[in-house]
Every structure is written in structure tokens, then in C-alpha cells.
């Protein structure tokens, strides 16, 4: 009998997680069955408890329940505690464990799939919401030279800098942030769009000087065609990438947490891109 896992969200029918985890199960031979659960708004806890009672071993959590999952977990990984949100739940004899794999997924996609090392890099992170908060520690772990956070509301960027200041010092990373004016007018090695602007075809505030040949412009969003952020960066000479690889790699990290086996995210990403291209 296969072990049961699922993704919970609202909406959830669009989720690619069941397809991704089915590929991981085939690839590794792990006895995993993975489905979707439409969580009722206001009914997250009841839905999770029902899944656990039916024998569920773990869940991925997508919008709008990542904060609910954080509150529901009996214990948190350091990265989930830092992110203030949970996207991976594990159910065991010691209770419910919450983790956040988004940042690891981002880092692995940039380094393993796109071939860009973050060690010693100058990185600009656009946005200071939950998506940005979840990737700061995994970025620090790669030992970049500097990380600058830019946000429309400068106070939110300042809060993040203050929250992670001690860890930045430990990691030897120059960590600064504020409004758009806080970014140096130089070309960055990596510019990451962690805002939701691409959903509305809106560009985040960012000086054009940040982009150029040798810059990787990474949008956490993905879709059937390049985002406005990606197109803007390419016009300025940068290389652009979307967040589909982050989706696959954060799923691979969840799979590893649950099964102790690390699947090949790159192979599944290539297959997923081919599948999506065929549908376009």
C-alpha cells in the first residue's frame, strides 16, 4: 500500500504538485500516492486533521494556508520559524512538524539548474513580504558577498534587515535594505523578483542600472510566457528565468524531508517544461 501525501490550498485544482510528486515517485521507486485537497476557507485545521486520521503522512501547503500551517505545527524547522510560514507538513509520532522549502528550492534552481553560483555574488532581492522572508536564510547559507532588499515600503525592508542582522553577520554577508533608493546604482549578479507584481503585469521598483550582461534576473512567478519583469531585464541585457524550477526544487526538498531520498529535480523540470510547451 502506498503512503499518502497531498497538497492543500484554495484554489488547488491548478496545482502541479501531484504531477511533480508522481514523477519523483516513479524516479525513486518510493511508494508514494499524492493528491489534492481543496481546503475550505476557515477550515484548514479540520481538513488537515481529517487527512491525518485517514493515514496521511505529509502535506504541501499553498495559498492561502501557509500561515495557518505555521500556527498548526507542533514544531518548526529553523527556516520555517524564520520565514514565518510553512509549506511542508510532516505527520509522525512526535506530532506535526512544519518546514519551509521555498528558499532551498530557489537556491537549488539558481545554482543547479541555471548554473549560477551565489557564493561571493551581489544579490538584489525585490520585495519584503513572505516570499522574500522565506529565502533570506537559504541565500545566506550560500555565502554571497552582499544581499540588498528593496521594497516599496522601506520600513518593511528595514524590518527584515533587523530580523536577520545577526545571521548575516555570522554568514559574513553585507546585508542592507530600504526603498528603491537604497540599491546601489551598479550591476548586480542576481536580481530576484519576490513581489507579486508579475500577476498584474506590473514592474517592481528597480533602477535599470541593476541589470546588464552577466546578471541573472529571476522572477519567482511563472506562466505560459515570460513575465514583464523578465522581458524588461532581457531588454537591458540580462539573462532571465522564471520560478518554475523553484516550484520543482521546493517539491524535491519536501520529498526528501518525507522519504529521505532526494529526487533529480532537474530531470522533472525539463519534462514539465516540455509538457507545458506542448499545451501552449
Q: What residues are designated binding site for shikimate?
A: 15-17, 62, 87, 102, 222, 250
Q: Residue 125 pairs with which residues in a beta bridge? A: 149, 192
- Residue 190, φ and ψ in degrees, nearest 5: -140, 130
Active-site option among 2, 49, 66, 169 = 66
Binding positions for NADP(+): 127-131, 151-156, 220, 243
Angle between helices 265-279 and 244-259 (to 10 degrees): 140
Q: Which residues contact 266 (CB under 8 A, 6 or more apart)?
A: 112, 113
Closest CA to 258 of 30, 9, 77: 30
**Cα 227 vs. chain centroid, distance in angstroms?**
17
Distance separating alpha carbons of residues 227 and 242, to the nearest angstrom: 8
Binding positions: 15-17, 62, 87, 102, 127-131, 151-156, 220, 222, 243, 250
Distance separating alpha carbons of residues 227 and 218, to the nearest angstrom: 10
Sign of CA dihedral 207, 208, 214, 217: positive
49 is catalytic: no
First CA to last CA across the chain, in angstroms? 36
> Between the CA of residue 1 and those of 4, 33, 141, 143, 216, what are the distances in Å?
9, 9, 38, 43, 44
State the catalytic residues: 66
Amino acid at each position: 500500500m502506498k503512503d499518502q501525501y497531498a497538497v492543500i490550498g484554495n484554489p488547488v485544482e491548478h496545482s502541479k504538485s501531484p504531477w511533480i510528486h508522481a514523477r519523483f515517485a516513479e524516479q525513486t521507486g518510493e511508494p508514494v500516492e499524492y493528491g489534492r485537497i481543496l481546503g475550505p476557507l476557515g477550515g484548514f485545521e479540520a481538513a488537515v486533521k481529517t487527512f491525518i486520521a485517514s493515514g496521511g503522512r505529509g502535506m504541501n501547503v499553498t495559498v492561502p494556508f501557509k500561515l495557518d500551517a505555521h500556527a498548526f505545527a507542533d514544531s518548526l524547522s529553523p527556516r520555517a520559524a524564520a520565514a514565518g510560514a510553512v509549506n511542508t507538513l510532516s505527520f509522525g509520532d512526535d506530532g506535526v512538524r512544519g518546514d519551509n522549502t521555498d528558499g532551498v528550492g530557489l537556491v537549488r534552481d539558481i545554482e543547479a539548474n541555471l548554473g549560477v553560483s551565489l557564493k561571493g555574488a551581489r544579490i538584489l532581492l525585490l520585495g519584503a513580504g513572505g516570499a522574500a522572508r522565506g529565502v533570506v536564510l537559504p541565500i545566506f547559507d550560500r555565502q554571497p558577498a552582499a544581499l540588498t532588499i528593496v521594497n516599496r515600503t522601506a520600513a518593511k525592508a528595514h524590518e527584515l534587515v533587523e530580523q536577520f542582522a545577526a545571521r548575516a553577520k555570522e554568514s559574513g554577508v553585507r546585508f542592507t535594505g530600504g526603498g528603491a533608493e537604497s540599491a546601489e546604482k551598479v550591476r548586480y549578479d542576481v536580481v530576484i523578483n519576490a513581489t507579486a507584481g508579475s500577476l498584474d503585469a506590473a514592474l517592481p521598483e528597480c533602477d535599470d542600472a541593476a541589470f546588464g550582461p552577466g546578471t541573472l534576473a529571476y522572477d519567482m512567478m511563472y506562466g505560459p510566457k515570460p513575465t514583464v519583469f523578465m522581458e524588461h531585464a532581457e531588454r537591458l541585457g540580462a539573462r532571465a528565468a522564471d520560478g518554475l524550477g523553484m516550484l520543482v526544487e521546493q517539491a524535491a526538498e519536501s520529498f526528501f524531508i518525507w522519504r529521505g531520498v532526494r529526487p533529480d529535480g532537474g530531470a522533472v523540470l525539463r519534462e514539465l517544461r516540455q509538457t507545458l510547451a506542448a499545451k501552449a
